[in-house]
Structure 1
């Protein structure tokens, strides 16, 4: 098993790494294979920062909620972030919303099953 110090380091590094990957992905989708510009870099970094803040917020808030709301919060985060990435490809807003809802529904099913089988109704986790 990993030490507590390693877990703490990973919990700090995960939002940064995931945010940078997400920001790069969004910027790459937006430029559609064209040249990299200063505005594209700025868009990528702002998107990465927004993703990092949302991720940290969801990760801090979600464990305090009941398992149903816990799953809904993660599903909304996953669906929203996917829908935003999809919208950067030039797809219509309706299609982006529908794709985000579909991915969010799948994430809800997975997360609800996980929390339903690993927590009691009061939110206490089983080991």
Structure 2
């Protein structure tokens, strides 16, 4: 169920982050190349999230441990990108902090539940 919530929240997150990057580019002066870096990392985050959610859904539906372990590893990358937007992007607004904190909480819950699922599937099928 948390994967379904994550889909809707991530769509909101990407749209809001993209609009905030546009807003920041109009209001603030970006040092050379940092605007492009923020946008490239946002695209990378989209690709990583789609791949991660695919493996998460596949692992849960088929009750296989390998896709869930892949999801666990990809979640670490998504968490690092979320931390970038929380702490290290060029300009961090209060909305960035709130949205990334919620996203990190969702990722943390998914990690805990994925670990429980992997241990449960491993016990059941071994």
When the two structures are superposed, what TM-score results if normalisation uses the length of structure 1?
A: 0.43
User: Structure with the greater relative contact order (CA < 8 A, sep ≥ 6): 1 or 2?
Assistant: 2
Comparing both structures, which one devotes a greater share of its residues to helix? Answer: 2
When the two structures are superposed, what TM-score results if normalisation uses the length of structure 2?
A: 0.44
